[in-house]
Amino acid sequence: MKVLVINCGSSSLKYRLIETDTKTVICKGLCERIGIGGGHFKYEVIGSDNGYEKDVEFPDHNTAVDTLIKAITDPDKGVVSDVSEIGAVGHRIVHGGDKFTGATYITPEVMSVIEECSDLAPLHNPANVQGIKSCRKVMPDTAMVGVFDTAFHQTLPEEAYLYGIPYEYYEKYGIRKFGFHGMSHEYVSKETAAIMGKDVKDVKTIVCHLGNGASITAVDGGRSVDTSMGYTPLDGIIMGTRCGSLDPEIVHALVEKTGKSLDEVMKLLNFESGVYGLSDYMSSDMRDIRDACKNGNMAAKRAFNTYIYVIVKYIGAYMAVLGGADAITFTAGIGENSSSVRKQVCDRLKGLGVELDDEANNNGHGARLISTASSKVKVYAIPTDEEMSIALSTVEVLNKQNKV
Ligand code: AMP
């Protein structure tokens, strides 16, 4: 089946058309600067030079969806002859609260619940909802499925998702850990089991999704049992510009000492902290930090070392949570590409049975084992593919609903 995957942000829309039977991408692209002027459209056809880029004004998400559907169905450069060839649309939805434990067929009732979750992700969910509405306009008869960043973590036990605050605030306001990057953690933990030649039910894996946003998840038999992001994606390990976990009193202290408002401090913690802030605003990009470290830059070293330390701490904690791990898997931009981050992390885990194979770590490509044969805990680098995960989940939901 051809599944159109839509990842809709407030001013951008990423799309990908996937043939799920063969797990191949047919085309992909991006609509940029929706609603803010100066829009740009990218369309890439895999294995063909029919792709192009052009400036297009996108006053709203409807125009963006119109543009991409016209590109896909264009008689000359398109990849399908009619929109009816698209079997389903899979929408990435950031927050499903505790209402969705898996990918869900989108009915009007489901739409209302997704809208209710908007207060948990005010920057993301309204855009996701808009994406669904825009697709509905052009494809009123096509099945739509919502795939949630939070759903994979709905298996967290109570002891892992509760915070140490009065229980009534969980009951009244739903303050709890949700976790994010669920599609990636699910996909990568399944791939880890597959590459080990084992059933996912028999494997304990720690998945390190290290991208600009980053989270680490303990996966026991295919179920998420703890994860580093929390009520919001600000929690957990240090990220590109996000601070990760810190003493809540620091927020209070920053408001008092800097004279910034609470909103300004929250902005600082989201956009000016993490690797970027620790490196004296040098860069949030690990490639820049790595290069600056090589040149002996102390600010870059400080940021790098702190970043590594926090990752090691979370992995150690999750080894305890799992009662020992069979595998640690690195994924996402940094996890897949940075041999130096993997090396520094794994070297600090030697005492816990982790032995990196330097040759495989430095020189291999793609999904692979990067630990030695004698390493008690196997280490893998596996590219994540959130879009493929969304497409496959979409088909799974339709199969269950007998919609295919
Ligand atoms: P993502 O959010 O998964 O797209 O990851 C983005 C991050 O991956 C960038 O900010 C870079 O820091 C990092 N990255 C990408 N390629 C490399 C590389 N070859 N080496 C180190 N870091 C990389």
* 313 in any annotated domain: yes
- Computed over every residue of the chain, the mean pLDDT equals 96
Say whether both 26 and 99 belong to one domain.
yes
Q: Residues 38, 106: one domain?
A: yes
Strand partners, 19: 2, 24
Residue 284: pLDDT over 80: yes
What mean pLDDT do residues 33-46 have? Answer: 95
Establish if 63 belongs to a structural domain: yes
Distance (Å) from CA 7 to ligand 1 centroid? 20
Widest CA span in the chain: 62
**Residue at 154 is within a domain:** no
Q: Report the predicted TM-score, pTM, of the whole model to 2 decimal places.
A: 0.92
CA distance 138 to 131: 11
Residue pLDDT, tens place only, 135-184: 999 999 999 999 999 999 999 999 999 999 999 999 999 999 999 999 99
CATH value at residue 263? 3.30.420.40
Q: Measure the CA–CA gap between 212 and 241, rounded to whole angstroms.
A: 8
Tell me: the pLDDT tens digits for 85-135? 999 999 999 999 888 999 999 999 999 999 998 888 887 889 999 999 999
Local confidence band at 404 (pLDDT 50, 70, 90 cut-offs)? low
Judgement on whether residues 344 and 223 belong to the same structural domain of the protein? yes
How many domains does the structure of the chain reveal? 2
Same domain, 144 and 222: no
| Catalytic residue (one of 149, 220, 357, 385) | 149
What is the per-residue pLDDT for 121? 82
Query: What's the rounded Cα separation, in Å, for the pair 253 and 247?
Result: 10
3-state SS of the chain?
CEEEEEEECCCEEEEEEEECCCCEEEEEEEEECCCCCCCEEEEEECCCCCCEEEECCCCCHHHHHHHHHHHHHCCCCCCCCCHHHCCEEEEEECCCCCCCCCCEECCHHHHHHHHHHHHHCCCCHHHHHHHHHHHHHHCCCCEEEEEECCHHHHHCCHHHHCCCCCHHHHHHHCCCCCCCCHHHHHHHHHHHHHHHCCCHHHCEEEEEEECCCEEEEEEECCEEEEECCCCCCCCCCCCCCCCCCCCCHHHHHHHHHHCCCHHHHHHHHHHCCHHHHHCCCCCCCHHHHHHHHHCCCHHHHHHHHHHHHHHHHHHHHHHHHHCCCCEEEEEHHHHHHCHHHHHHHHHCCHHHCECECHHHHHHCCCCEECECCCCCEEEEECCCCHHHHHHHHHHHHHHHCCCC
Q: Do 211 and 84 sit in the same domain of this protein?
A: no
Q: Tell me which residue has its CA closest to atom 20 in ligand 1.
A: 338
Measured in Å, residue 284 CA sits from the centre of ligand 1 at 10
> Based on the domain organization, do 136 and 207 belong to the same domain?
no
**Structural domain of 316:** 197-386
Is 334 near ligand 1, meaning CB less than 6 Å away?
Answer: yes
In a domain, 175, yes or no: no
How far, in Å, from the CA of 42 to the mean position of ligand 1?
21
User: Is 149 one of the annotated active-site residues of the chain?
Assistant: yes
Pairwise CA distance, residues 275 & 281, whole Å = 8
Tell which one of 209, 338, 345 to mutate to probe ligand 1, the residue whose CB is within 8 A of the most ligand atoms. 338
Whether residue 126 sits in one domain with residue 211:
no
In a domain, 293, yes or no: yes
Q: Are residues 249 and 105 in the same domain?
A: no
Measured from the CB, is residue 275 less than 6 Å from ligand 1? no
Ligand 1 pocket member 333 (CB < 6 A):
yes
CA of 319 to the centre of ligand 1 (A): 26
Q: Are residues 214 and 360 both part of a single domain?
A: yes
Using one digit for the tens of pLDDT, what is the confidence trace for 197-225? Answer: 999 999 999 999 999 999 999 999 999 99
Query: Residue 205: what pLDDT?
Result: 98
- What does each C-alpha distance from 144 to 183, 271, 391 come to in angstroms? 17, 33, 11
Helix axes 125-138, 108-116, angle to 10 degrees: 160
* Same-domain status, 115 and 263: no
Q: Is 191 a domain residue? A: no
Mutate-to-test residue for ligand 1 from 287, 288, 361, 362, highest number of ligand atoms within 8 A of CB: 287
In degrees and rounded to multiples of 5, residue 24 shows phi and psi of -120, 145
Which residue among 119, 148, 177 closes a domain? 148
Ligand 1, pocket-test mutation among 185, 311, 337, 345, most atoms within 8 A of CB: 337
Question: Does residue 338's CB lie within 6 angstroms of at least one atom of ligand 1?
Answer: yes
**Residue 299 near residue 282, CB atoms below 8 Å:** yes
Q: Is 381 in the pocket of ligand 1 (CB under 6 A)?
A: no
Domain membership flag for residue 174: no
Task: Give tens-digit pLDDT for 221-263.
Answer: 999 999 999 999 999 999 999 999 999 999 999 999 999 999 9
Q: Residue for token digits 């040759």?
A: 359
Domain match, 81 and 228 both: no
Is the distance from CB of 95 to CB of 127 less than 8 angstroms? no
Determine the residue type at 166.
P
Residue where one domain finishes, among candidates 110, 128, 148: 148
Q: Which atom of ligand 1 is nearest to the CA of 288?
A: 12
Q: Quick check: 24 pLDDT over 80?
A: yes
Atom of ligand 1 nearest to the CA of 384: 3
284 and 380 fall within a common domain:
yes
Q: What is the pLDDT of residue 327?
A: 98
Q: For a pLDDT cut of 70, what percent of the chain falls above it?
A: 100
Pocket flag, ligand 1, residue 332 (CB < 6 Å): yes
User: Is 258 contained in some domain?
Assistant: yes
- Please give the distance, rounded to the nearest whole angstrom, from the Cα atom of residue 283 to the centre of ligand 1: 12
Report the separation in Å between the CA atom of 383 and the middle of ligand 1, taken as the mean of its atom positions: 12
